[in-house]
């Protein structure tokens, strides 16, 4: 580990400078294509003597793939190149796309989510190459910078495309999000859109006053949402998800009505559901449908339909998996802090990797915070620390794969 630390520390200044460059390159999903970021990653890789190339399903949104070696045993570090918007810039202490260091933290949009992980991953590959432990005919080390994650972790342009085209021939992976846990999986996401149809009439009319005409779609849908708020469905417990559970959040978006003096004839609501590993989306949909049917029966003329907007499966590797155990042991040794093995509440692209049969930690990286919020940051000291951690884990994991050596 001391040798790896020395090799990584030689890259401390260029790593930080490279991350600052990535933050300056705007790659807000839906506004700026990731092309400039991808090209900069490939250029930096080539400067370091690594293989870099652009792989695109959509020409202006290429993925960046960096590699060293071409052997049958491989490991991938993965991160996404797009970010969310900065929001109200006045809420930031410094311009969101002008990285600034204050009190040991680098501030800027995309620092924690997920450009620090990409910068760390690139220099981790360089350090492992420099170490000379592995024969490039025996191993493949990969950094994948993917596009379009922030659109909902279900894009066909980024991670899914690389997997489908066979560009990730590895037996282990880490998604390089900032974290303070060893993340072994994530809950699933089921997002439903409920559309209610009633009958619009004048709110001052005789027929509405007498209850002889009109059906209020807003109150009908609201009654359904209030019942869904109390819905609790069973699931099998999972040791890494004991701190979490099934959650349903009705009405994350809601719209209804057309005019102040009209009984609302239509309304729409979004329901956000977070599913535990092994929990069936169909059971959730059936339970929602049962509540809808009962409420519509009590309100003649009310019709409510369900549309599935997003469906991402929960995914997890066992907490006892060698990759998770290695990560926890070395993280605690290097940082001196506890690193619990847990599942994450939000979904991410980890399910794609795990679903492809690649043991993956879908969230394990530097210290950072305020992702998707003003003053997003990453701890500067944790950049080198995390690169040492990644290199140590990958080195031992590949030896385990190559030689079936016991994990120390």
Residue extents of the structural domains in the chain:
2-186+314-403, 188-312
Residue 88 has pLDDT above 90, yes or no: yes
pLDDT of residue 407: 58
pLDDT of residue 264: 98
CB atoms within 10 A of CB 392: 23
Which neighbouring-strand residues pair with 100?
Answer: 107
Does residue 89 have a pLDDT over 80? yes
Judge whether residue 408 has pLDDT over 70.
no
For residue 405, pLDDT over 70 is answered with no
| Overall average pLDDT of the 224-236 stretch | 95
400: helix, strand or coil: helix
Under 8 Å CB-to-CB from 372, ≥6 apart: which residues? 84, 113
Separation of first and last alpha carbons in the chain: 12
Token couple for 381: 């000291």
pLDDT band with cut points at 50, 70 and 90 for residue 341: very high
User: How far apart, in whole angstroms, are the C-alpha atoms of residue 347 and residue 16?
Assistant: 29
Separation between Cα atoms, residue 61 and residue 158, nearest integer Å: 9
* Rounded CA separation 185/126 (Å): 28
pLDDT of residue 404: 73
Q: 363: helix, coil or strand?
A: coil
**Of residues 239, 302, 309, 238, the one with CA closest to residue 273:** 309
CATH fold for the domain made of 188-312? Alpha-Beta Plaits (3.30.70)
Per-residue confidence band for 403, with pLDDT thresholds at 50, 70 and 90? confident
What does the pLDDT read at residue 187? Answer: 97
Is 0.85 surpassed by the pTM of this model? Answer: yes
Burial track 43-62 (b if 16+ CB lie within 10 A, e otherwise):
ebbeebebebeebbbeeebb
Percent of the chain having pLDDT more than 70?
A: 99
**Mean per-residue pLDDT of the chain:** 96
CA dihedral 50, 53, 55, 61 (to 10 degrees): 110
Asked whether the predicted pLDDT for residue 370 surpasses 60, the reply is yes
Provide, rounded to the nearest whole percent, the portion of the chain with pLDDT above 90: 96
- Checking if the pLDDT of 2 tops 90, the result is no
Per-residue model confidence as pLDDT tens digits over 134-182: 999 999 999 999 999 999 999 999 999 999 999 999 999 999 999 999 9
Residues counted in the chain: 408
Degrees (nearest 5) of the Cα angle 320, 369, 318?
Answer: 10
In this prediction, residue 311 carries a pLDDT of 95
The sign of the torsion formed by the CA atoms of 230, 231, 237, 240 equals negative
Say how many C-beta atoms besides its own lie within 10 A of residue 66's C-beta. 25
Which is nearest to 211 in space by CA: 199, 224, 223, 222? 199
Which phi and psi (to 5°) does residue 272 adopt?
Answer: -105, 120
User: 132 phi and psi, to 5 degrees?
Assistant: 75, 20
Residue 257, both tokens = 């009505």
Over residues 296-316, the pLDDT tens digits come to: 999 999 999 999 999 999 999
Contact 275, 192 (CB under 8 A): no
Instruction: Provide the strand spans (E) within 164-316.
Output: 173-175, 182-186, 188-197, 247-256, 266-275, 303-312, 315-316
In CATH, which of 3.40.630.10, 3.40.50.300, 3.40.50.720, 2.60.40.1170 is domain 2-186+314-403? 3.40.630.10
């Amino acid at each position: 580990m001391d040798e790896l630390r020395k090799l990584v520390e030689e890259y401390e200044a260029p790593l930080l400078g490279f991350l600052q460059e990535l933050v300056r390159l705007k790659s807000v999903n839906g506004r700026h294509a990731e092309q400039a970021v991808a090209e900069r990653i490939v250029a930096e890789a080539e400067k370091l003597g690594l293989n870099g190339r652009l792989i695109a399903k959509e020409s202006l949104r290429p993925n960046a793939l960096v590699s060293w070696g071409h052997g049958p045993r491989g490991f991938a570090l993965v991160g996404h190149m797009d970010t969310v918007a900065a929001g109200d810039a006045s809420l930031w202490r410094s311009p969101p796309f002008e990285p600034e260091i204050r009190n040991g933290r680098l501030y800027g949009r995309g620092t924690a989510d997920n450009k620090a992980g990409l910068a760390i991953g690139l220099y981790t590959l360089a350090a492992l190459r420099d170490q000379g432990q592995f024969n490039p005919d025996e191993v493949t080390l990969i950094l994948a910078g993917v596009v379009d994650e922030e659109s909902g972790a279900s894009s066909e342009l980024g991670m899914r495309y690389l997997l489908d085209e066979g560009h990730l021939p590895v037996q282990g992976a880490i998604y390089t999000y900032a974290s303070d846990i060893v993340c072994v999986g994530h809950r699933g996401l089921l997002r439903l859109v409920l559309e209610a149809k009633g009958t619009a009439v004048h709110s001052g009319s005789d027929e509405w006053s007498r209850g002889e005409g009109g059906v209020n779609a807003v109150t009908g849908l609201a009654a359904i949402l209030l019942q869904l708020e109390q819905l609790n469905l069973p699931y099998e417990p999972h040791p890494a998800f004991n701190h979490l559970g099934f959650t349903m959040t009705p009405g994350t978006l809601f719209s209804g009505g057309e005019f102040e003096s009209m009984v609302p004839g239509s309304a729409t609501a979004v329901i956000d559901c977070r599913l535990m590993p092994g929990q069936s989306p169909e059971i959730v949909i059936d339970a929602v449908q049962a509540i809808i049917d009962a409420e519509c029966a009590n309100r003649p003329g009310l019709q409510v339909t369900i549309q599935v907007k997003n469906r991402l499966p929960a995914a997890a590797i066992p907490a006892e998996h060698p990759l998770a155990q290695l990560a926890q042991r070395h993280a605690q040794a290097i940082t001196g802090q506890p690193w619990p093995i847990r599942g994450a509440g939000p979904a991410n692209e980890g399910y794609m990797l795990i679903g492809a049969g690649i043991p993956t930690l879908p969230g394990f990286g530097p210290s950072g915070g305020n992702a998707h919020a003003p003053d997003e940051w990453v701890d500067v000291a944790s950049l080198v620390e995390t690169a040492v951690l990644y290199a140590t884990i990958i080195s031992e994991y590949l030896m385990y794969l190559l030689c079936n050596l016991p994990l120390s």
